[in-house]
Chain A
Amino acid sequence: EAGVAQSPRYKIIEKRQSVAFWCNPISGHATLYWYQQILGQGPKLLIQFQNNGVVDDSQLPKDRFSAERLKGVDSTLKIQPAKLEDSAVYLCASSWLRTGNEQFFGPGTRLTVL
């Protein structure tokens, strides 16, 4: 079974530029999550999709972050414009639609904003 795929693995941009991350979840997983992991901290949920609908985006900075999951499969997370404090690893995870089910994580995208 293929795991969660993410690209790119690394990205360096200047502040005020825009950037996009892509995630392909495990086949059949209805639920998809984007987490932000700042150095020295645990992952923090940004947004959760169930199929192609948003379940929870309460911690997403909506003035600059956006995410979509077209057709309930792949997802894209965008930052526009980026700030220095957005430097972090962005993790995508997916799971079956059931509480307590394991969330499978991708390798993440490490973003550096200069």
Chain B
Amino acid sequence: AQSVTQPDIHITVSEGASLELRCNYSYGATPYLFWYVQSPGQGLQLLLKYFSGDTLVQGIKGFEAEFKRSQSSFNLRKPSVHWSDAAEYFCAVQLGAGSYQLTFGKGTKLSVIP
């Protein structure tokens, strides 16, 4: 069965510092890959997604993610974190054509020190 692993439960960074959140997936083929953000009391918002093509994907709010097939990874990055980025981040996979179900990782909570 496919699975998504986010190895870091909680990360704390200083405002202005760079950020990388890790995501690894387990699946025979390359699934569709997503990053969502969830602020307290809010639903999930899509940051970016990867289906094919360029392995570096740009998203909203200055985030980007890089797909690495050899490592089965899809890590999320931001060069300079803002205090408003404090939230929980979820990596998710979708099997591909004909499938709509998203399988989520357990999430990484990001805290930002002013």
The interface of chain A, by Cβ under 8 A from chain B, is 3-4, 31, 33, 40-45, 48, 55-56, 91, 93, 95, 99-100, 102-103, 105-108
Interface size of B by CB at 8 A reads 26
Binary per-residue interface labels of chain B (25-37) against chain A in the complex, 1 for a CB within 8 Å, 0 otherwise: 0000000100010
A-B pairs with beta carbons under 8 Å apart, 6 shown? A31-B100, A45-B103, A56-B101, A93-B44, A99-B96, A102-B46
Which 6 pairs across A and B sit closest by C-beta, in order of nearness? Answer: A42-B104, A105-B43, A105-B44, A107-B43, A102-B46, A100-B32
Residues of A within 8 A of B111 (CB): none
- Please report the number of residue pairs spanning A and B whose Cβ atoms sit closer than 8 angstroms: 56
Residues of A within 8 A of B71 (CB): none
Bound: A108/B96 CA distance, A: 26
- Asked if A102 and B49 make an inter-chain contact with CB atoms under 8 angstroms apart, the answer reads yes
Bound: A3/B100 CA distance, A: 20
Q: How far is the CB of A66 from chain B (nearest CB, A)?
A: 20
Bound: A48/B94 CA distance, A: 14
Q: How far is the CB of A46 from chain B (nearest CB, A)?
A: 11
The interface of chain B, by Cβ under 8 A from chain A, is 4, 32, 36, 41-46, 49, 51, 90, 92, 94, 96-107
- Say which residue of A42, A45, A48 sits within 8 Å of B105 (CB atoms): A42
Residues of B within 8 A of A3 (CB): 43
Residues of B within 8 A of A55 (CB): 100
Since A42-B107, A45-B101 are in contact, a sample of 5 more A-B pairs with Cβ atoms closer than 8 Å, ordered by chain A residue number, is A93-B44, A103-B46, A105-B36, A107-B41, A107-B42
Residues of A within 8 A of B97 (CB): 99
Bound: A106/B101 CA distance, A: 17
Residues of A within 8 A of B92 (CB): 42
- Asked if B106 and A42 make an inter-chain contact with CB atoms under 8 angstroms apart, the answer reads yes
Bound: A105/B100 CA distance, A: 14
Bound: A42/B51 CA distance, A: 21
- Asked if B104 and A43 make an inter-chain contact with CB atoms under 8 angstroms apart, the answer reads yes
